Amino acid sequence: MPRCTTPQTLSREITISGHGLHGNRPCSVRLVPVASPSGLLFVHTPTGTEIPAKADLAGDLVLATTLVKDGVRLQTIEHLLSALSGLEVEHLRIEVDAEELPILDGSAAPWVDAILEAGVQGLEGRRRFMKITRPLEIRNGDRWIRALPFDGFRLRYVIDFPIPALGRQSRELSLTPEKYRRELGAARTFCLAQEIDMMRARGLALGGSLDNAVVFGADGPLNESLRYEDEAVRHKMLDLVGDLALLGAPLMGLVEAHAAGHAMHVALAQAILADPGCWEWTEDAEPANVSFFFHPLVAQPA
Ligand SMILES: [Zn+2]
């Protein structure tokens, strides 16, 4: 399915309220359609601070993606950005009345459902894609992420945790809005039970519970059930889609990540933006021969 070639916003406003995963404070988000293509713009309503969803404004990246501008922080933006990017809604005003977005059920599904219910609206002009023309990699020991040329938008992700309940998971996917909704959107954030004390000591995950996260103990998830057998790696891909939205434009390329996280996702987005020699603008969204693509340098995940 070719990607949408028209810039899109929402057909009507949406308001969603909840509480933050890390600060556990109440918060409310209003998604407001825009009249012309202008990207995704956050507005912190108590101060009126406008913060564009751009990688160069990303700050604190421990267990969430945070935008920082003029001393104002907006934390845990990645699941909303993921839903918007996954559904190709890239032009919107996002008003937030707190310093963190609601965690809801820990996935992007409540955002996806609300967006689909409101409907999307085409805007004037053509959608422009950032087409990767040269490989670009960020590596930290055996954790790495890279962007490679590819006619389409494809993700390949591998995680490898040293507990049997999680272990090694890998998944690969060419993204369309329908595949995003079906395969990634409902995957919940997760953590290891053994990490919870450490996170709380650092003031993180204070609003976390089995209602908004999957917690993996030594013998398996403490939750009653998983939404997908490999829900963890799917959530990492959901996070990656959200973090790549900080490019400010849709990507055309293959992104591979191995044991990465928000910091590496955002570092890749920053590296792409900083190196215009590795990508070019294109309006041609038609994927060519997707099914036969295989990058020879990369071993297929087991
Ligand atoms: Zn997440």
Name which residue leads in pLDDT, 164 or 175: 175
pLDDT tens for 14-48 read: 999 999 988 889 999 999 999 999 999 999 999 99
Q: What was the pLDDT predicted at 290? A: 43
Assign domain 129-291 one CATH number from 3.30.43.10, 3.90.1260.10, 3.55.50.30, 3.30.1700.10: 3.30.1700.10
289 pLDDT band, cuts 50/70/90, is very low
Give per-residue pLDDT as tens, 81-119. 999 999 999 999 999 999 999 999 999 999 999 999 999
- Domain ranges for the chain, please list them: 8-122, 129-291
CA of 292 to the centre of ligand 1 (A): 31
Instruction: State the pLDDT at residue 28.
Output: 97
> Has residue 4 got a pLDDT over 50?
yes
- CA distances 172 to 163, 175, 176, 184, 291, Å, are 22, 9, 13, 11, 12
As a whole number of angstroms, the longest Cα–Cα distance in the chain is 53
* CA 167-170-173 angle, 5° bins: 155
Q: Would you state the structure tokens that stand for residue 153, as one six-digit string?
A: 């938008």
Question: In angstroms, what is the span from residue 106 Cα to ligand 1's centroid?
Answer: 7
- What per-residue confidence (pLDDT) applies to 1? 60
- 190-192 vs 214-217, strand pairing mode: parallel
Residue 284 confidence (pLDDT): 83
Looking at residue 302, its pLDDT comes to: 36
Task: Spell out the CATH class of 8-122.
Answer: alpha beta
Q: Smallest Cα–Cα separation from 94: which of 77, 72, 107?
A: 77
Residue pair 137/272 in contact (Cβ under 8 Å)? The answer is: no
Whose tokens are 């509480």? That residue is 19
Options 91, 262, 265, 295, the catalytic residue: 262
| Nearest CA-CA partner of 61 in 288, 273, 283, 264 | 264
Active-site residue, 262 included: yes
Tens digits of residue pLDDT in 219-271: 899 999 999 999 999 999 999 999 999 999 999 999 999 999 999 999 999 99
186-232 tens-digit pLDDT: 999 999 998 888 888 888 888 888 999 999 998 899 999 999 999 99
The pLDDT confidence band at residue 60, using thresholds 50, 70 and 90, is confident
pLDDT given at position 164: 87
pLDDT of res. 286 = 65
- Residue 236 Cα to ligand 1 midpoint, Å, equals 7
Residue 287 is predicted with a pLDDT of 56
Rounded to the nearest whole angstrom, what is the distance from the C-alpha of residue 102 to the centroid of ligand 1? 12
Cα 2 to ligand 1 centre (Å): 27
| 232 Cα: distance to centroid of ligand 1 (angstroms) | 10
Q: How far is CA 205 from the centre of its chain?
A: 18
Question: How far, in Å, is the centroid of ligand 1 from the Cα of 182?
Answer: 17
Span from the CA of 50 to the centroid of ligand 1 (angstroms) = 23
Expressed in angstroms and rounded, the spacing between residue 126 Cα and the centre of ligand 1 is 30
